[in-house]
A and B are shown apart, each in its own frame.
Chain A
Amino acid sequence: MMNPSQGRGLGSGGGSSSGRKQGGEAVVEMFPSGLRVLVVDDDPTCLMILERMLRTCLYEVTKCNRAEMALSLLRNNKHGFDIVISDVHMPDMDGFKLLEHVGLEMDLPVIMMSADDSKSVVLKGVTHGAVDYLIKPVRMEALKNIWQHVVRKRRSEWSVPENSGSIEETGQQQQQQQQRGGPAVSGGEDAADDNASSVNNEGNNWRSSSNNSRKRKEEEGEEQGDEDASNLKKPRVVWSVELHQQFVAAVNQLGVEKAVPKKILELMNVPGLTRENVASHLQKYRIYLRRLGGVSQHQGNLNNSFMTGQDASFGPLSSLNGFDLQALAVTGQLPAQSLAQLQAAGLGRPAMVSKPGLPVSSVVDERSIFSFDNSKPRFGDGIGHHQTQQPQMNLLHGVPTGMEPRQLACLQQQLPVGNRMSIQQQIAAVRAGHSVQNSGMMMPQQQPFPRGPSIRQPMLPNRITERSGFSGRSSVPESSRVLPTSYTNLPTQHSSTSVAFNSFQQELPVNSFPLPSAPGLSVPAQVRKPHSSYQEEVNSSEAGFTTPSYDMFSNRHNDWDLRSIAFDAHQDAESVAFSNSEAYSSSTMPRNNNNNTAVAATDLGRNQQQTPPNMVPHHHQVYGNGGGGSTSVRVKSERVAADTAAMAFHEQYSNQEDLMSALLKQEGVAPVVDTEFDFDAYSIDDIPV
């Protein structure tokens, strides 16, 4: 086996962990061999294979087929291991529980693995703080690089000491760090030095950026005194498992809708951590969640806001039922372009963004939307999985990320329209707490939405298209008239909104959406006709988003509103909404669906909770961004929608830093469920559902 001395040396994390054994001596060169791995799996075949593979990588391996045993092993040898690899499904203890324990008690990096590659599970891994997730069968290549997690963790430990950042106490920290990293640093090993310096840099000052130099560190140390690390420059925060867990806990505590960086920051109470850090981390998190397609409850409003804004750019979507979704986008906070980007990002690609200022001409857009549909499948893929679960509902529920709207849109598109339940149905479904699956299942699988005007289809009128308003298409024939619903939906029903948008006529209370009154709303009636069909289609495509329950939408409601307005035929809206919601629900969250729908149902006004990541992108489209799209129309509602759309765009977060800021500003507006929609003009009651 491994040479014990080797093991030891590695134990120090490649020489960089000052806390561990002596800093790198000769070990560094051997790194990563000797890495001490604890592997836990109840499957003896897998265990044997893993052991063999790890040994081949020159790691030091300890096998364990019971989680409890693994924990006691770890507890008895606090520093005896460098990394843990654990299976997810184990008889005596859930792998995630083990993961949490290890993270809390020993703070070791944990890699989860499973034959289960469903996004929801992977997402769970992430939210519980796993540093990686391997899908079985595990290959050698995957194992060869696990040492990176050890190094990364060490570094992050240094940078955010005790989770409390205390960045401000730079001088002090630096000293501490220096001492800690002393041996390693002075060791002179490259790895150690690198780690140490970077850690020091980061820890002390967030100045990180380069790991190199000790001297840099020293320099910084000197200056630290007067620096307010957090404000000075973008500090580089390393999100350790603990920190991330705190973050997740805070987000959960706040609730998806309310999770804004400021509050998260407060809850986390980590000195030295800035709002920007949290914000950018939140972005990533949302994107991740979206990507996973899981229901991310955590997604806060931000997502929503993003989404809304972004919808606008979804040209195709914008045509949602003839609304000027695009207008929405335009009006929305997000500039069409950004929306487009966001959408694209959110969608993962389909770049719906095509036209930033897409005119409402839904007809045209719709076409594009359809094209999106095909492209969107991407999202749908993720979403598709969810589809089975609660297609639409999910969307709304889970996908907090901004992408939701878009995704929804995408999803919807992808999802065969058949699923489009009428918004009302969806809403009803949501209300009932069932997943939107609607009779037709909005999201059924990602089938591209080619449905055309007939999208109205299956949407069950009773179902409220969760989609937030995409109403339109699907099913709700009557709902389409709902126009107002779409609008109204927004504010009132987040969840239902999606459905409501379009036509929730029936159940959607939203029907009373003031939409018609919406000033900008050019009355769907007008729009509808030609658009409606398209819209519907669009919706349907968007429905991919599945979960009409847009909690997300609620935020995004704006989107819906706009949309709903657009379609004169409620149906359109419905379909749209459904599509959106569907998309979302399906994509995002199968799990969320339940939650979302319920939520959505309950509170249309809610800011969409978690717009399924997948959905989001679509959403945008559909909505045209609730925010951006309907520029003309409901500015207000749009705005809200825009937010959600913006949120959808979260995914893209790379660009989103800016968006983030923009959206964050809006956040105030956003996602709150009823309040968000600022539909002044509309009175939800009016909408005859």
Chain B
Amino acid sequence: MGKCMQGYLDEQFMELEELQDDVNPNFVEEVATLYFKDSARLINSIDQALERGSFDFNRLDNYMHQFKGSSTSIGASKVKTECTMFREYCRMGNAEGCLRTFQQVKKEHATLRKKLEHYFQLARQAGPKETARRSK
């Protein structure tokens, strides 16, 4: 995974890479694609909810729970951390904290997306085997 990914993705991501094989050579990328698509939807929902100004913490927490779940599944550690913080603020009913943290969530999410795009690009260039090797 390399230095550039360090900290951003944890062992879970590596687990996913291990699931990749000749039969499913692009598994990880497929999962990542699905993740970003789904999480964009969630981010949107949260954004809208926050913009409305009526802080329905329960609902926000629910969204974030889902978001955190998928982020965890692909091993997005930094994103996950921010999600956890956000949920804490929700629990405390701290609107300002939520807003602040959510910016962080989005930031980490965007960063990860870029990094992964880059990563997959390299992988494609290098070839499937190379990818596997590199990830180890």
Given A43-B38, A137-B73, A48 contacting B65 (CB threshold 8 A): no
Partner of A115 from the list B27, B31, B35, B72 (CB cut-off 8 Å) is B72
| Interface status of B44 (Cβ within 8 A of chain A) | no
Which B residues touch A115, using CB under 8 A?
65, 68-69, 72
Flag whether B81 is at the interface (Cβ < 8 A): no
- The residue among A42, A43, A138 with the most chain B CB atoms within 10 A of its own CB is A43
B130 to chain A, nearest CB (A): 21
Beta-carbon contact of A136 and B73 below 8 Å: yes
- Residues of B contacting A42 with CB < 8 Å? 66
Identity of the chain B residue whose Cβ is nearest the Cβ of A89 in the assembled complex: B65
Q: Are A49 and B73 in contact (CB under 8 A)?
A: yes
Chain B stretch 19-56: residues in CB contact (< 8 A) with chain A? 19, 24, 27, 30-31, 34-35, 38-39
Q: How far is the CA of A87 from the CA of B30 in the complex (A)?
A: 22
A116 part of interface (Cβ distance < 8 Å): yes
Proximity bits, B1-29, A CB within 8 Å = 1, else 0: 00000000000100110110000100100
Check if A77 is an interface residue, CB within 8 A of chain B. Answer: no
Known: A43-B69, A44-B34, A45-B38. A52 touches B19 (CB 8 A): yes
Chain A residues within an 8 Å CB radius of B39: 45
CB distance from A40 to the nearest CB of B (A): 14
Q: Is the interface of B mostly helix, strand, loop or mixed?
A: helix
Which residues of A lie under 8 Å from residue B30 when comparing CB positions? 48
- Tell me how far the C-beta of B23 lies from the nearest C-beta in chain A, rounded to whole angstroms: 9
Contact at A45–B74, with CB atoms within 8 Å?
A: yes
* CB atoms of B15 and A43 under 8 A apart: no
Q: In the complex, are the beta carbons of A140 and B66 less than 8 A apart?
A: no
Pair B24/A89 contact, Cβ less than 8 Å: no
Residues of B within 8 Å of A116, CB to CB, are: 65
Chain B residues positioned under 8 Å from A45 (CB to CB): 31, 34-35, 38-39, 70, 73-74
Asked if residues B72 and A48 are in contact (CB atoms below 8 Å), the reply is no
Most buried by B among A87, A116, A136: A136
| B69 close to A44 (CB less than 8 A) | no
The residue in chain A whose Cβ has the minimal distance to the Cβ of B30 is A48
- B24 cross-chain contacts in A, Cβ below 8 A: 52
**Is the C-beta of A56 less than 8 angstroms from some C-beta in chain B?**
yes
Q: Is residue A71 contacting chain B, with contact meaning CB distance below 8 A?
A: no
For B38, list chain A residues within 8 Å (CB): 43-45
B65 partner residues in chain A, CB cutoff 8 A: 89, 115-116
Min Cβ gap A49→B in Å is 5
A672 CA to B35 CA, complexed, in Å = 54
Smallest CB gap from B21: residue in A = A56
- Indicate if A46 sits at the interface (CB-CB under 8 A): yes
A43 and B66 contacting across the interface, CB-CB below 8 Å: yes
Q: Quick one: CB contact mask for B63-106 with A, threshold 8 Å, 1 for yes? A: 00110111011110000000000000000000000000000000
Among A49, A87, A114, A136, point to the contact of B16 (Cβ < 8 A).
A49
Give, as a whole number of angstroms, the nearest-CB distance from A37 to chain B. Answer: 16
Within the complex, what minimum Cβ distance (angstroms) separates B52 from chain A? Answer: 20
| Bound CA–CA A58/B72 (angstroms) | 24
Which A-B residue pairs are the 4 nearest by beta carbons?
A45-B70, A115-B69, A45-B35, A137-B12
- Which residues does A use to contact B, with CB under 8 Å? 42-46, 48-49, 52-53, 56, 87, 89, 114-116, 136-140
Other contacts beyond A45-B74, A114-B69, A137-B73: 14, CB < 8 A? A44-B34, A44-B70, A46-B70, A49-B74, A52-B19, A52-B24, A53-B19, A89-B66, A136-B72, A136-B73, A137-B15, A138-B73, A139-B15, A140-B18
User: What are 28 A-B residue pairs whose CB atoms fall within 8 Å in the complex?
Assistant: A43-B38, A43-B66, A43-B73, A44-B34, A44-B38, A44-B70, A45-B35, A45-B73, A45-B74, A46-B69, A46-B73, A48-B31, A49-B73, A49-B74, A52-B31, A56-B19, A87-B69, A89-B65, A114-B69, A115-B65, A115-B69, A137-B12, A137-B15, A137-B72, A138-B73, A139-B15, A140-B15, A140-B19
